[in-house]
Amino acid sequence: MLKFLIRGALALALGFGFGTANAAPLEAYGSLPSIESVVISPDGSALALIVTIDDERRIIVKSLSGPVLASAVVGNRKVRNVQWAGADHVVVEASITTEIKDTTYVDEQWQAVSLNVRTGHYIQLPDQALDTLLNVVWGRLQPGADGKKAVVYTPLYVTVAGNMQYKSGHMDLYKIDLDTGLASRVQMGDNQTYGYLVRPDGAVVAKASYKNNEATNDATWTLSLRRGSSWQEVDKTTDARNTPELWGMSPDGQSVIIDTWDKQNALWRPTSVTLSDGKVGDYIGPPRKQGAQIDEQGVVLGFTYRNGELVEYDFLEPRLKALWPAYRNAFKGQQVWLTSWTPDFSKLILFVTSSNSAGLYYIADTKTKRVDPIGSPYPKLAPADVANVKLIEYKAADGLTIQAVLTTPKGRAEANLPLVVLPHGGPQGQDDVTFDWWAQAIASRGYAVLQPNFRGSTNLDHAFMEAGNGEWGGKMQTDLSDGVAFLAKAGTVDPKRVCIFGGSYGGYAALAGVALQKGVYRCAVSLAGPSDLAGRLHDEILKYGEKNGTIRYRKRVYGVQSESDPKLKAISPALHAKDVESPVMLIHGKDDTVVPFSESQKMASALKAAGKPYEFVTLNGEDHWLSNGATRKQMLTAGMAFIEKYNPPN
């Protein structure tokens, strides 16, 4: 009966609906997920999750046997995550766009509250402390215990005097009582420390530090192990372009796992550091690109890797390693994510997506061998509303192989289709053959959607990612149009009916596609796209100083040595508005702290001065990530109306 109890009870309590045979409206794709961050309690008796109903966010804690144990309506707040901390507490993380006076610029600041499931009482974390510290979350919230009291351990920034830029504070490790919100310092750090590893009983194991070296314009990353009352430095590097990461503890508790650079195979690989002697050991697993699956206590349970179109797991934890194949094989040909579990792995929460599904959460009982559905993030989308998705490959003009995701509308032959190119952000990111609400929304209107993993993307090896350096407006751009040409030659799309629509770096690519290229796109829609790279770099140097990790990264990916390099102007769309031959739509959130709102304002002013057709949509109260339901739908509705106007699907 578990299947019917969970599915029926959640559908009733949360107001879920199910898709119909009719075509889904655009907002069915653009709405925030109905459920997300589904996590199971340590004893396996309850679920905590984020629920959205009519753009209103709620936190629900629900017993598997039926009743709702606790709930809270949080309205339009940007809730980011929920997690259990012991049997009786759920920690909720949310963010707000703001500055911290005399400490930070305007940024997205994360905060946390603790919900006592038994009493319904909320408390901010931290609510009080003996130190002058910031109650913002800048690191891992790790559940633990202080005797019988439930606590979390997390790094907090302690202010002293003056501005953070002048190194007037330090990142310390704190223990926070989940009922009182009282924060007590466990370990003092410094202005170079950014992360700690601690056992559930509060014993500090390791820390990671990052020191910016202004004299040599590089940085030093250091791993240190705790030895009594002092620290032992066990690993240090300054020569890597990307710093290592302190991932967590090994399942047996005898080692720390970090990633280190394998020069021979030119990739980052998981590596063990023995706690007893601080020795950096051998690489773990085969030489392939891997991510880590880490539990709330900072234990590395295993690794993720790509196998064809799907991401798979290679577990270190012996119980999971034995259990996983049966549950993975229950969903052959589908993407299966392990999203939550009980400490004894008696219950697992899975999220499964496929080429004809918007995804579904399941609960797996590893003792009874049952796998039962919980609910879908997009309950208004039926399989008929999910377009066909596949991975394709084509050659760029210089012979480099480019992988791309192609989505084609249901019910239409893959011939002579109108096309929307949808480049991802980053640019160090990637698109996969999984449900993508943005691509699916476009395809639902009758368009093919091409999502190229252009050079600079992270889908292949490190060399492929590095191949994007210096290619903004260059080969990264032609990698997109080479994909258009490939599909046109195959007869899949009509090369005269192509638009480009992208966000962040993808927004830049959309602008560059009509400002720096000719005759490819009938229209361009840029969401939060940088338009003046020279001006942006200048502003960031003023904020951070020239000898800074962010500035070094910008110069490397732009392929320049200074802000005065003429190349920056050559690849800035706002400085080439007179060359734009197609209509442009600019969409930007007023609260964007990643790509300033001014970047779209600059492009709008340049287009206006050049007498070019454009529209400008402002998303009030929106950040860089489309975190609000109303503005996400506003973006999608405006963007699709613009594309349908200048590139009709029929």
Give residue-wise pLDDT tens across range 486-516.
999 999 999 999 999 999 999 999 999 999 9
218 pLDDT band (50/70/90 cuts)?
Answer: confident
Beta bridge partners of 61: 48, 70
pLDDT (0 to 100) of residue 116: 94
- Helices 629-646 and 437-444, packing angle to 10 deg: 40
Q: What does the pLDDT average to over 619-646?
A: 95
Burial of 18 (0-12, 13-18, 19+ CB in 10 A): exposed
Are β-strands 142-146 and 89-98 bridged in parallel, bridged antiparallel, or unpaired? unpaired
Q: Is 374 helix (H, G, I), strand (E, B) or coil?
A: strand
How far apart are the C-alpha atoms of 232 and 259, rounded to whole Å? 19
Residues 387 and 118: their CA atoms lie apart, in Å, by: 44
CA 188 to chain centre: 30
pLDDT at 8: 29
pLDDT at 309: 86
Q: In this predicted model, what pLDDT tens digit does every residue of 434-473 receive, in sequence order?
A: 899 999 999 999 999 999 999 999 999 889 999 999 999 9
Encoded tokens for 25: 């409206």
Q: Where are the beta strands (DSSP E) in 410-453?
A: 417-421, 448-453
Residue 164, pLDDT score: 47
Question: Would you place residue 72 in the very low, low, confident or very high pLDDT band (cuts 50, 70, 90)?
Answer: confident
Q: What is the pLDDT of residues 405-415, one digit of tens each?
A: 999 999 899 99
**Cβ 223 vs Cβ 233: under 8 Å:** yes
Question: Considering only CA atoms, which of 327, 331, 449 is closest in space to residue 386?
Answer: 449
> Per-residue confidence at 22, pLDDT binned at 50, 70, 90?
low
Q: Measured between alpha carbons, how far is 153 from 257 in angstroms, rounded to an integer?
A: 19
pLDDT, residue 448, reads 98
Is 62 within 8 Å of 13 (Cβ atoms)? yes
Bridging pattern class, strands 68-75 and 614-619: unpaired
pLDDT at 368 over 90: yes
**Residue 171 contacts residue 190 (beta carbons within 8 Å):** yes
pLDDT tier at 6, thresholds 50, 70, 90: very low
**Whole-angstrom distance, CA of residue 595 vs CA of residue 592:** 6
Q: What pLDDT is recorded for position 330?
A: 93
What share of the chain has pLDDT > 90, as a percent? 80
Report the pLDDT value the prediction gives residue 130, as an integer from 0 to 100.
77
pLDDT of residue 75: 80
User: Do residues 360 and 15 lie in contact, with contact meaning Cβ atoms separated by under 8 Å?
Assistant: no
Q: For 387-532+572-646, CATH number?
A: 3.40.50.1820
Burial class for 566, CB neighbours closer than 10 Å (0-12, 13-18, 19+) = exposed
Over 60: is that where the pLDDT of 254 sits?
yes
Alpha carbons within 13 angstroms on the beta-carbon side of residue 404 total 29
Has residue 348 got a pLDDT over 60?
A: yes
pLDDT of 168 over the 70 cut: no
- Over residues 79-98, the mean pLDDT reads 94
pLDDT digits (tens, 9 = 90+) for 262-304: 999 989 999 999 999 999 999 999 999 999 999 999 999 999 9
The reported pTM is: 0.92
pLDDT for residue 10 = 33
C-beta of residue 89 within 8 angstroms of C-beta of residue 83: no
Q: What is the mean pLDDT of residues 194-217?
A: 92
Average predicted confidence (pLDDT) for the chain:
91
